[in-house]
A and B are shown apart, each in its own frame.
Chain A
Amino acid sequence: MIQLLRIELYKIFRRPRTYISFGIITAIVLVIQLAMLSDGKSFLSFIMSGVNEQFDIQGNVLNGYLVTYIILQSLLIHIPLLVALVAGDALAGEANAGTLRLLLTKPISRAKLVLVKFTSSVIYTVLLIVWLAVVGLFGSLALFGQGDMINLKSDAFVMLLQHDVMWRYMAAFLFATLAMTTIASLSLLLSAFADNSIGPIISTMGIVVVITILSNLELPLFDKIKPYLFTTHMIGWKGFFDDPIPYGAIGFSALVMFLYTVGFLATTIFYFNKKDIKS
């Protein structure tokens, strides 16, 4: 199993496409950091106008912690695409290259192959999130400095003391990893259905975009289904920046995403076991 995983990781990290994701994250983060450096104050005065009307806030408001929060919020749609680039290619890429049949002639079960492909996708996802933490969080802290963090919700103003923020980011990144693992499992499922990698990657993005829109539409029509959509729970990391932290809600979100991940993975194994491999 370990040997198989090593081979899979070798395949992933041998491809230049894999590094495009890291490049894209770096580019987006740098663009946002640059924008915040040049025009962050006017952005802040816009989003804080309601609070500034009544309170005089002094100090380094635009610090690394707040900038990282803005970065994470902006990357909500982009990271799933980057995860899908690898996970969507895991099975379909082999089929497209004509190596899947050859791979299955080896003495390994199909379920094991799916699990290895999934694990390697998760490792890639973890590395992506770690990279995001390095350039996003630590890069922003280096550029903008530390300080108390302000979290602006639509109907609340939350202030977190400097010493109380770092662990929240670590928890948020852990939660984001779980959310992206769900995306990886969805992408792997779609990859099992396809014989070329473009289909699963685009399908994953299509599903994520459509369901995210449904999750965010403030229409009573969708209120009943919202709690069961995984995109509703993908932003659960934000809960760690609230006070008090809604552990119950975060736990429920994590459970929903875990169940989705298991469901997608089980369906992939079930389908892949029965699939007639022709290439």
Chain B
Amino acid sequence: MRKLLGILAVCLFVSIGTIKASDADKLYYSLRTKVLSVKDYTADVRMKIDINRMRIPQLKGTLFFKSPDKMRLERHGGLSILPKKNINLTLSNLMPDGKVTVIDMGTSTIDGKKLRVLKVIPEDELSQIILAKIWIDEANMLILKTETTSRNDGTIAMDLSFGKYASYALPDRVIITMDVKDYKLPKGITLDYNDVPTPPTPPGEKKSKTQKGTIQISYLSYDINKGISDDKFKDKE
């Protein structure tokens, strides 16, 4: 009798685990389908780049996106700056595609909201993404946060806020946090005006060559799935 009860308990545990896993898989794939339903968009955006040693004012412009990985910011005669990453900084590109292993990590509360947490590992060994962790608002079927570890670009975190375009899984505001390398130019080239002397690094403390930087994109309006020509994404002077 004891043996039978033991076997039953193991069976129950395994079946619950399987149901949970397949549930997580289902959730991930349906979310990915929703995100990928947007083939292209044109959005009026405001972008604030906050990266150490880069002083860039708030940029207003038009952001063009075409699935799967084309993105371009146009600023009506001004300069446009976008991070040059091997993976594109859009939600669809930070979610691994193809066959994946989805691990249910339970729930977590962010800003008072209970969110389901999934870890996604691509099965394709050549995938740029090694691991993605996503926080999901199950009730609205929206991804509110992602943390994607890539092969070449370190970890990219994305915090999303949704508004009137939630039905397309398109956010109103995105905050992207990523690793940025430090850069330096020889002073002989720049002939700097040293208004503020650089504080010395405390002894024993190694100066890190990479720092965290954030890019905040506010989407004011979207024009979705209207079709964008590939020429739009070609390099222009």
Residues of A within 8 A of B (CB): 47, 50-61, 73, 76, 146-148, 150, 152-162, 164, 216, 218, 235-239, 242-243, 246, 248-250
Contact = CB atoms under 8 A, between A and B. Distances in A.
Contact of A161 (B57, B73, B185, B187): B57
Main secondary structure of the interface of B (DSSP, over half): loop
B55 A243 contact: yes
Nearest to B178: A54
30 contacts: A47-B185, A50-B184, A53-B181, A53-B183, A54-B181, A55-B82, A55-B83, A56-B82, A56-B84, A58-B72, A58-B79, A59-B77, A60-B77, A153-B190, A154-B184, A155-B184, A155-B185, A156-B55, A157-B53, A158-B56, A159-B57, A159-B81, A162-B78, A164-B57, A236-B193, A237-B193, A238-B191, A238-B193, A242-B55, A249-B193
A60 B235 CA distance: 12
B84 A55 contact: yes
Contacts of A51: 54, 183
A59 B186 contact: no
Interface residues of B, number: 35
Given A51-B183, A152-B185, A154-B185, A58 B191 contact: no
A54 B57 contact: no
A58 B80 contact: yes
A153 B236 contact: no
B84 A161 contact: no
A59 B78 contact: yes
Given A60-B79, A158-B55, A159-B55, 13 more contacts: A51-B54, A55-B82, A56-B84, A61-B79, A152-B190, A154-B185, A154-B190, A155-B184, A159-B56, A159-B79, A161-B57, A162-B77, A238-B191
A161 B78 contact: yes
B54 A157 contact: yes
A58 to B, nearest CB: 5
A50 B54 CA distance: 12
A143 to B, nearest CB: 15
Contacts of A235: 191, 193
B111 interface: no
B237 interface: yes
B132 to A, nearest CB: 22
A218 B183 contact: no
B126 interface: no
Contacts of A236: 193
Interface string B209-235: 000000000000000000000000001
Nearest to B183: A50
B75 interface: yes
A70 to B, nearest CB: 11
B180 A54 contact: yes
Given A155-B184, A162-B77, A246 B196 contact: yes
Given A161-B78, A238-B192, A249-B195, A154 B187 contact: yes
B196 A249 contact: yes
Contact of A155 (B53, B77, B81): B53
Given A57-B81, A154-B184, A216 B57 contact: no
Contacts of A243: 55, 57
Nearest to B184: A155
B189 interface: yes
Contact of B79 (A54, A57, A152, A246): A57
B79 A156 contact: no
B198 interface: yes
Contacts of B53: 155-157
Interface in B199-216: none
Contact of B80 (A57, A157, A160): A57
Given A216-B191, A235-B191, A236-B193, A147 B183 contact: no
